[in-house]
Amino acid sequence: MNTTQVEKHLSLLGMKCQDKVTGLKGVIVNIGFDLYGCVQAIVHPGLSADGKPQETIWFDISRLEITSKKSVMERPNFEYGYIAEGRKGPSEKPLESKY
């Protein structure tokens, strides 16, 4: 099966990564394709020491080193079904959400 570049980029969702420039570590929670040709990822670094969510940051994907072999959770199916058709809102929070 041939994988398109878009599918390859989407496969980064949920992967742990580290920014090559700043060393920031986190999980890729969003992939964006902009009008100017940039492919970027939002990286969520997790919770702070006091349990509060840290700020998410956009990075060009070329700056990111993938540090995990599999996604931290199952990815949505963007190819078929109600999610692909735009008929699903945000997913439910995990049972043990720290928010």
As a whole number of angstroms, the distance between CA 78 and CA 4 comes to 14
Q: What is the pTM of this model?
A: 0.81
Are the C-beta atoms of 15 and 66 separated by less than 8 Å? yes
CB-based contacts of 46: which residues, under 8 Å, 6+ apart?
Answer: 26, 27, 53, 54
Model confidence band, residue 99 (pLDDT cutoffs 50, 70, 90): very low
Residue 1 has what pLDDT? Answer: 44
Query: In order of start, what are the domains of the chain with their CATH numbers?
Result: 5-84 (2.30.30)
pLDDT tier at 95, thresholds 50, 70, 90: low
Over residues 3-39, the pLDDT tens digits come to: 799 999 999 999 999 999 999 999 999 999 999 999 9
- Cβ distance 19 to 42 under 8 Å? no
From residue 46, give the alpha-carbon distance in Å to each of 61, 63, 90: 19, 19, 19
Q: What is the pLDDT of residues 56-77, one digit of tens each?
A: 999 999 999 999 999 999 998 8
